[in-house]
Structure 1
């Protein structure tokens, strides 16, 4: 039994405790009664509007020094605006409820309890919930950090079926120590240094994502740091000058090294990866994205950096759920997605020893980089520099073509409008079921052309006649070839399809082939279509309804609109990364650069995708001319500008008598390869640009000259 001194000491300690804050709902009532907005309160307390919202909905609790100031403010408001007395009816209801509970027997106490990681196996949180037998049973029954999220279209699920990643793939940390996860989850993070943040993330956060393929690897947890969080953890709010990473003598880098964490050779930049020694065969790495250092490019993630932490977590969470946990730029994420869906190795049993060892996973690009054939490389590549290659290069690029103004007819010039059509993720559509080379290139002289063999062919297509009102399908500029040149298989096959004689002089072909990009295409297509559907653009809409939905889809949900933009950037950037040029700084001619050490440095695969996309586009242009008699004014990559009698694509696209779109021409719709309205301008505007040598497809959306 406790002594009198022990009891008095316990009572004194209780008296010295700070008075508890009123319940979250009462905090909101007092603020509203005082006529103060959440934004104004946040400014007074040097906090953020989102943090005040969290205090008022029970997601988090204030900490010193804001706690004492907030308590004092609430006490003052409570004295001025006391809670209204309960009505007789409500008092009677409370009395009746108490009587029924007494008749039913003893009940569990309703004292609020705080469950921490040490008491319930969950990350520490100060959110309070009534203690009931179910709540006290354990973490499976109680997770106070998981408030029921507000249902929003496209909200990422807060948990996975893997208990290791119960809180989702990523979270956003603010300067108050609040960690905002997917699905409305909010956790408390006590870390004050990067080392502590890494430890907390690996041991308590419950963040991460399971592998996308059975032979792949689980995704590292991602913590996104706001500017205030970065400063709190000892990082500069912004990188100075042209620096792209912290210097090696920075205090944070030194602290990581001292704690036996290490960085990748990219160092501590906007996207940093900190790792420590593997544990039980599992790597232990944490990815960090610092928003104020430019981690999220505004072109790929429009408006996201300026959003509240909870909305940032939602946008990135949807992307992680549908595409991949971000691992850098959208281009790098697109490239990493290829490897995640086609892992280079799988476990195989060594027949000599019986041990399981890493072996090649069929259909993948393997683990070792592969040098391209000289015509597939860039001029800086060692294969070219060291061999003295002068035989030319593949020039499979997207269209940049403008029709000669002298070929415009009077009838076309008298049409009132120029209408731009943009193809949805055209390169993604081209990647569908695309067979590419997987093995090393083999040189052939005077080979017979086979349209199903991926590779590069030296062919003379200068004799191929093309209607001058259409771009040539064989060059990005749309001009007729002037002699032998290197082409990818799809370009040569299309020349054969058009009836031209094809006699290759040389070729670099690959014997092992496969549809490497198919799972990449399938996942990104689903992500694109599902995100558009969440924004109200669904497949079941009529063409008129589709155009109307596309006009307003970005305003429906800015966070999801940013996700859609990021998905589009992932497609283009991922394909572009297959042929990454050397860095401008610290590069000497003939030296290998870091990108060449990746098995995914495959310019031949990039050329195959772009070649097929350009051929697909030319086929549609030809069919449109046959069906409607209309010829394009200009083409830029995925955008085509047509003269039109009206301001809508419905005024010139071909439809059958029953109202259905004609197959083979441009069709409107939300799936990859179908078209949408890019912009409308006066026909005179387009002709003026063409006369000045500009491409109206580049400006059709904005209208500036």
Structure 2
């Protein structure tokens, strides 16, 4: 029960009316006239320098109780330093004789009043503030100084950036140090504030696309304040957890005429109303305490301070896109954002309407050919003709194929291909239309599709994995292959004679913009960690050993970019989820135009072929063969602990063309791990793959990183 004094104070505050602060520029002028730094003022007001900066540039306004204290201080300063009393700096004067002197300056006006406690705190002499450190790593980067890329002008519709992280005290931390005050106490109020007052959002990535919905990330304290449970628990798998329909927050949104998407109110709820007057009304939320930021994709981010979380997610948003769910979801959404399915076209009457956007996947879902589908797919029911098996490598060489010389080498060195799936997606021609069935076709490496061919008669060196199967074993009879696998067979000099095929007449490099944006994001983020293309191979290896320690926040962005690549490709063939699913039933992912297992197969087949080509070229140049391969990681026996001890180089010191090349770009290689050769041989004798464990411990490599 409030006391009478508390009630009287509240009533007095209402009678006084809302205090009016001077304009932001005047606030800064008064502080500077008093000789007080932003840091000193923040200390007195128990705030942060960035918050004071936001008050002075109009990005945010103080809230009680700081509002009244700040106003009182400004009023005191205004009496001491009225605007009319400011003496401009005199222009340089030219004296024509030694007797001419400038007029003496007017004496400073003595202060007539003293302001109370806050003024006393900031009036103490303070040393000149040190230059504010740039947002970034606390450890100095060793990379060469680079000119910063010019920043695109901020969209005036979204002055506060794409997202904010909301804490329990109503403070919303945005990108570039922006701090906003959010008065919402319910989720419905939060949605209204986000759309009408926050200034959050991001422009579309393609002129035919849509703007990104604003994202508000909720800390645990913020979630509890808004009426959400601290943890989301239930009998279902965590990724399927949702608030029940009768939860007070869900009912509250329904009463306010807000809707939830089919995935409900889970870790990444999307709250919307149907578009009005062509304007989207949609807000994306992310609940940190519900594991919205998976530790594998966003290492360490959930435990960071809100401002640091905003920095991580803001960097990702500027380089990839505003997160819309898991990194896998964001990877798939990025494809559509860069290749929107529709565009505005004029019909025969000259009226603008929505039409197909050439080069995109369109708006309608498309069933795959039976051999391209997973066995549970409706089109695969009753199909007995075999299935496409284009997957990443999981191969280990037979122990009896190891030479004595190899076994006596001291080290096993693992090489990892940077974002191998991303490199494979570059200039990759895929089908844009549905599959057509052909019998006895002539193979054409320019036509994407699936071909039934017998490659079992091809004899290859058993010290290398077969390029035709994920197991690396020799094919045992006719099987379905993606175009890139058969094109490589032709490259190796073998005749390809398909029995039948499912091919696509309309084709295009659908993934090109996706590749280009993610490649730039990957390279730029590595550069922020001190790993640049200007480094030579030795400098590159040294920089990679410490890059994760340079700036944990940016290292988390790098991990998220890699997870976006892997997850985006995986989403192209998303399998059914839930224990109640039965084979032959359709599942929600099938209703997406981006559910395209044939495109996923093309990416993986090209990545596997690229890996085999490099291994074959190393074998030709050096006589060295891999011990094992797992997806994009290959392990070699080495006389030294560095790849420089066994990789082939030309006489000019350049990497041998077509072999593994060290560097920070997609498709180049880095060190995955180093172990003793005896360790690798011991694993191989047990039938285990050293490439799976070369990183150390029981770590399992992520395919396609």
**Aligned equivalents of 1:344, 1:230: Cα separation in 2:** 36
Q: What is the alpha-carbon root mean square deviation over aligned residues?
A: 3.4
Residue 373 (str. 1) matches residue 369 (str. 2): yes
Deviation at 1:150, TM superposition (A): 3.7
**Aligned equivalents of 1:655, 1:444: Cα separation in 2:** 46
Among 469, 487, 509, the alignment partner of 1:493 is 487
Judging changes above 3 Å, is the alpha-carbon distance between structure 1 residues 15 and 695 closer, same or farther for their aligned structure 2 residues? closer
Residue 649 (str. 1) matches residue 615 (str. 2): no
Instruction: For residue 572 of structure 2, give the secondary structure of its aligned residue in structure 1.
Output: helix
Q: Who is 1:90 aligned against?
A: none
**Aligned equivalents of 2:343, 2:106: Cα separation in 1:** 65
Q: Who is 2:136 aligned against?
A: 152
**Aligned equivalents of 1:287, 1:676: Cα separation in 2:** 36
Among 202, 218, 233, the alignment partner of 1:209 is 202
Residue 573 (str. 1) matches residue 567 (str. 2): yes
- Per-residue displacement from partner, 1:537-563 (whole Å, max 9, x unpaired)? 000100000000001111111010000
Q: Who is 1:6 aligned against?
A: none
**Aligned equivalents of 1:451, 1:341: Cα separation in 2:** 27
Among 282, 293, 297, the alignment partner of 1:296 is 293
- Per-residue displacement from partner, 1:22-62 (whole Å, max 9, x unpaired)? 9974577679xxxxxx9xxxxxxxxxxxx777678877899
Deviation at 1:198, TM superposition (A): 0.5
Q: Who is 2:3 aligned against?
A: none
Q: Who is 1:673 aligned against?
A: 667
**Aligned equivalents of 1:584, 1:634: Cα separation in 2:** 35
8 Å Cα contact 1:24/1:55 also seen in 2: no
Q: Who is 1:262 aligned against?
A: 259
8 Å Cα contact 2:366/2:593 also seen in 1: yes
Deviation at 1:445, TM superposition (A): 0.4
**Aligned equivalents of 2:202, 2:85: Cα separation in 1:** 47
Deviation at 1:194, TM superposition (A): 0.6
Q: Who is 1:392 aligned against?
A: 386
Residue 475 (str. 1) matches residue 495 (str. 2): no
Judging changes above 3 Å, is the alpha-carbon distance between structure 1 residues 25 and 425 closer, same or farther for their aligned structure 2 residues? closer
Among 427, 431, 438, the alignment partner of 1:433 is 427
Matches within 5 A, 1:286-365: 286-351=283-348, 353-365=349-361
**Aligned equivalents of 2:358, 2:678: Cα separation in 1:** 56
Matches within 5 A, 1:407-556: 407-556=401-550
**Aligned equivalents of 1:436, 1:104: Cα separation in 2:** 79
**Aligned equivalents of 1:11, 1:103: Cα separation in 2:** 42
Judging changes above 3 Å, is the alpha-carbon distance between structure 1 residues 309 and 12 closer, same or farther for their aligned structure 2 residues? closer
Judging changes above 3 Å, is the alpha-carbon distance between structure 1 residues 67 and 240 closer, same or farther for their aligned structure 2 residues? farther
Among 124, 134, 154, the alignment partner of 1:161 is 154
**Aligned equivalents of 2:692, 2:107: Cα separation in 1:** 75
Judging changes above 3 Å, is the alpha-carbon distance between structure 1 residues 203 and 449 closer, same or farther for their aligned structure 2 residues? same
Instruction: For residue 530 of structure 1, give the secondary structure of its aligned residue in structure 2.
Output: helix
Q: Which runs of 5+ in 2 are unaligned?
A: 1-10, 20-35, 70-80, 89-104, 116-121, 123-130, 142-147, 700-705
Deviation at 1:98, TM superposition (A): 7.0
Q: Who is 1:275 aligned against?
A: 272
**Aligned equivalents of 1:442, 1:25: Cα separation in 2:** 68
Deviation at 1:280, TM superposition (A): 1.8
**Aligned equivalents of 1:333, 1:11: Cα separation in 2:** 47
**Aligned equivalents of 1:215, 1:510: Cα separation in 2:** 25
Deviation at 1:702, TM superposition (A): 1.0
**Aligned equivalents of 1:552, 1:537: Cα separation in 2:** 10
Judging changes above 3 Å, is the alpha-carbon distance between structure 1 residues 529 and 356 closer, same or farther for their aligned structure 2 residues? same
- Per-residue displacement from partner, 1:243-292 (whole Å, max 9, x unpaired)? 51110001111010000000001000000100023232111100000000
Residue 582 (str. 1) matches residue 586 (str. 2): no
Instruction: For residue 292 of structure 2, give the secondary structure of its aligned residue in structure 1.
Output: coil
Instruction: For residue 271 of structure 1, give the secondary structure of its aligned residue in structure 2.
Output: coil
8 Å Cα contact 1:458/1:504 also seen in 2: yes
8 Å Cα contact 2:362/2:593 also seen in 1: yes
Instruction: For residue 475 of structure 1, give the secondary structure of its aligned residue in structure 2.
Output: coil
Deviation at 1:228, TM superposition (A): 0.3
Structure ranking higher on relative contact order (CA contacts 8 Å, 6+ apart): 2
Instruction: For residue 617 of structure 1, give the secondary structure of its aligned residue in structure 2.
Output: helix
Q: Which runs of 5+ in 1 are unaligned?
A: 1-8, 32-37, 39-50, 72-93, 113-129, 131-146
Judging changes above 3 Å, is the alpha-carbon distance between structure 1 residues 538 and 12 closer, same or farther for their aligned structure 2 residues? closer
8 Å Cα contact 1:158/1:167 also seen in 2: no
**Aligned equivalents of 2:150, 2:289: Cα separation in 1:** 27
Judging changes above 3 Å, is the alpha-carbon distance between structure 1 residues 184 and 605 closer, same or farther for their aligned structure 2 residues? same
**Aligned equivalents of 2:378, 2:329: Cα separation in 1:** 24
**Aligned equivalents of 1:111, 1:165: Cα separation in 2:** 42
Judging changes above 3 Å, is the alpha-carbon distance between structure 1 residues 406 and 177 closer, same or farther for their aligned structure 2 residues? same
Instruction: For residue 269 of structure 2, give the secondary structure of its aligned residue in structure 1.
Output: strand
Deviation at 1:661, TM superposition (A): 1.1
Deviation at 1:585, TM superposition (A): 2.7
**Aligned equivalents of 1:305, 1:599: Cα separation in 2:** 33
- Per-residue displacement from partner, 1:77-110 (whole Å, max 9, x unpaired)? xxxxxxxxxxxxxxxxx99x9794796999xxx9
**Aligned equivalents of 1:10, 1:635: Cα separation in 2:** 75
**Aligned equivalents of 1:246, 1:638: Cα separation in 2:** 39
Instruction: For residue 637 of structure 2, give the secondary structure of its aligned residue in structure 1.
Output: strand
Matches within 5 A, 1:9-28: 25-26=39-40
**Aligned equivalents of 2:114, 2:310: Cα separation in 1:** 32
Q: Who is 2:186 aligned against?
A: 193
Deviation at 1:14, TM superposition (A): 7.0
Aligned residue pairs, count? 612
Scaled by the length of structure 1, the TM-score of the pair is 0.81
